[in-house]
A and B are shown apart, each in its own frame.
Chain A
Amino acid sequence: MRASECDIVIVGVGGQGVILISDVIGRAAVKAGKSVRGAETHGMAQRGGSVINHTRIGCRFSPMVAAGGADVLLALEPAEALRFAHFLSSEGVALVNASPVLPVTVTTGIAAYPSLEDIHSALRDVCRMATFIDATALAKQAGTSQAMNVVMLGALSRYIPLPEDLLLDALAQVVPSKYLEANIRAFALGKAEVE
């Protein structure tokens, strides 16, 4: 028996807006009358490091998604998608922002950044589907590059058991009102990418 209706792992780099995505999902789940759990990264790890957020819709257990149990891996950065790919279920879906953020180990020449093709093929090996989305460019198109995370949320909305109107209501609660229009456009552009 499943312990959760839908398990999502959201990953990225500190500062990319991972927590906002979980916050919108959680608020929408509460509006939908569903129990919901989340676990987030705070403190030291945030400073330019990898961040991971677990979000479980329709779940009354721990906030942590089990390794091999994620229905969706939402990655705001390609290398981070692969770093946390062991959370994906073999039936799961990976949605990946195609725009890399180079770690210091790469900018200083200690390590190399893998090709997107290599990341894609490694992801394909462990799950049902891996889709790369040019979310950074789409966010600019929507009017603010800050909304990259909301583009990804729009794409994610296709795969989670929450109605779009509740997600948009929740979005309106967490983004400043002057950026709301751009964020709604970003959401729609992301959603259209996976139609």
Chain B
Amino acid sequence: MREYLLGNAAIARGLLEAGVGLVAGYPGTPSSEIVETLVDLKGDLPLHVEWSVNEKVALEVAAGGSWTGVRAAATMKHVGLNVAADPFMTLAYLGVGAGLVLISADDPYCHSSQNEQDSRRYAQFASIPCLDPADPQEAKDMAAFGFELSERFNIPVMLRPTTRVSHARADVQFGEPQPSCESPRFVKNPARRVALPVHARPLHYELVGKQSAIEQALQGTKWNRLMLRSEDGIIASGIAGLYAEEAVLDLDLDVSLLRIGTYPLPSRLIERMLQHVKRVLVVEELEPVVEEQVERLARKVNPAVEILGKGGLISREGELDLLQVRNAVARMSGLEEKQPLRIPAADKILPPRPPALCPGCSHRATYYAMRKVFGKKAIYPSDIGCYTMAVGMGTVDTCLCMGASITLASGIRFAGETEGICCSLGDSTFLHGGMTGLLNAAYNKARITVTILDNSTTAMTGHQPHPGTGVTATGEPTVKVSLEALASALGAGLVETVDPNDLERTIECFQRAKEFSGLSVVIARQPCVILARRSGTARRSFTVSDDCQGCRICVDYGCPAIEFEGDKARINALCTGCGVCAQICPSSAISEVAR
């Protein structure tokens, strides 16, 4: 079959072709559509697919599947691998049962992330093989191949797509899903499943010992291609290989080219390139993983070769594009560089269009009430989610990593900060990484207020369910975990739930939380407006009367549904009917339209 597929859908196809039987992931851009596609394609296949509570859980669940003889995969974004780093590092020692593929999707340029870390470094760190696809077809093929490689060398394998692979589309050739293992069984083998020191020591020797065999096996795969032509060369990895090929075509050059898609790197091919050329340009996104190896091998086989790359022609930050790569190749070849087109009018007359909280988003209402109660001087640690976009409201003072709002708030208090401290995080983020922080805050007596912005979904990444929603990834009903009971059990002294669209009660609730002498938790619950729209919840509509004094209080509230025209406010068609603006208008000029 051949279809126009999203990279992540292609990866899902690759997993199915390899007969995967268990896939666990946590949502994170740019990785989320892998699990979502599997949910859509699952049908009657004997496949367990789940949204796990976090990435560490996902990788451990996948490892359990692998050790029970079922091909298994875990999916996450690059920063999710930090959360999963603990099982990740030791799994490299213990190895697999059936094949285990870890998919860590990198996000150069931070399109939707807090950093640009390079997962290839993690693969190096753990001494596991890494497959670095250039496009959706390679991603599909590598996903399937990863299981064979994993089983052959008894080691987890990393597939590392980037945003421009995961969120690219291409015509992709793929095959039918294959059945997964029919007789799953956990085979006891303490020497390979129990990481006691006495077991781990020899396993480390084994891990290091198999590296060169893995390199040999990967070297000849179709993802490593060497073309020796002139004495100028380019070595490019992953998607950078496509930029390099297009640049060479555009400049009409006959340079030598080595495209790389596998790690440990194919040393033999790199050496042949280095023996052939006088100059070589290394093109890769983010860290100089290939370049460092090229430098090492050049010392051995051709110390005179000139190596170009990071620290000049190719940037270590952000994502590469054709222009940057073309100009680097042009510079190496003594050709003219192209300047990007500047349009002065665009800079002068265009209004910025930053992403913003949706019209009627309840996070805005919660933050409004929080700020009213805690005031300008209070400290507002926040977290990872849609609500981080409310940074302009003055209630997002920090954003570090999943769940860090509570722990940062605790540390700020323990350090001696005497102002009010009110932190906030979403429901999915709380369940992912906030619970242990809340437990710690209770145990160590942090006098802070924790606000759970409960929109009953994982909104930012595309509305995935979680344990608080009562639904699994595949839509089956399941236990609906109570955030109130959880917060109480973790030791919060005051736990209150409020509808943030009811401003007066929300303000009263924050007031009680602020005055509480210990750890207080406010659960601000109102379903995400996008989900409410999709589920067809009836909307109210609001209008501004002539009583409007033009004070702009509603406009400053920042809802995209409120505009300012002439000297009065106006509500536009984006209104979702939350009614919060009507509650903040000092002139009572905003009212619901009777139907």
Point out residues on A near B: beta carbons under 8 Å.
Answer: 1, 3, 13-14, 22-23, 26-27, 29-30, 34-50, 61-64, 66-69, 79-80, 82-83, 85-86, 102-114, 118-119, 121-122, 125-126
Contact = CB atoms under 8 A, between A and B. Distances in A.
B30 A42 contact: yes
10 interchain residue pairs of minimum CB distance: A43-B112, A26-B4, A43-B29, A49-B355, A111-B351, A38-B169, A122-B345, A103-B353, A114-B349, A62-B242
Interface residues of B, number: 60
Contact of B353 (A41, A69, A79, A114): A79
Contacts of B563: 102, 107
Given A40-B168, A62-B164, 15 more contacts: A1-B250, A3-B246, A3-B249, A40-B169, A42-B167, A44-B355, A45-B111, A47-B386, A48-B353, A62-B246, A63-B169, A79-B351, A85-B346, A104-B353, A126-B341
A59 B303 CA distance: 38
A3 B243 CA distance: 11
Interface string B24-39: 0000011001000000
Nearest to A46: B355
A86 B339 CA distance: 11
Interface stretch (B153-161, B554-562, B579-587): B554-562
Interface string B322-359: 11001000000000001011110110011111111110
Interface string B1-33: 011101000000000000000000000011001
A40 B167 CA distance: 6
B242 A107 contact: no
B249 A39 contact: no
A64 B322 contact: yes
Given A63-B168, A64-B322, A37 B135 contact: yes
A107 B564 contact: yes
Nearest to B326: A66
Nearest to A13: B353
B170 interface: yes
A105 B343 contact: no
Contact of B343 (A29, A108, A126): A126
Interface of B: 2-4, 6, 29-30, 33, 111-112, 134-135, 164, 167-171, 239, 242-243, 245-246, 249-250, 252, 321-323, 326, 338, 340-343, 345-346, 349-358, 386, 389, 460-462, 552, 555-556, 558, 560, 562-564, 572
16 contacts: A1-B249, A1-B250, A1-B252, A3-B249, A14-B355, A26-B171, A29-B4, A37-B170, A41-B111, A47-B355, A66-B246, A82-B350, A86-B343, A105-B354, A114-B350, A122-B349
B174 to A, nearest CB: 12
Given A40-B169, A68-B341, A122-B343, A49 B356 contact: yes
B169 A37 contact: yes
Nearest to A27: B4
A111 B171 contact: no
Contact of A118 (B326, B338, B345): B345
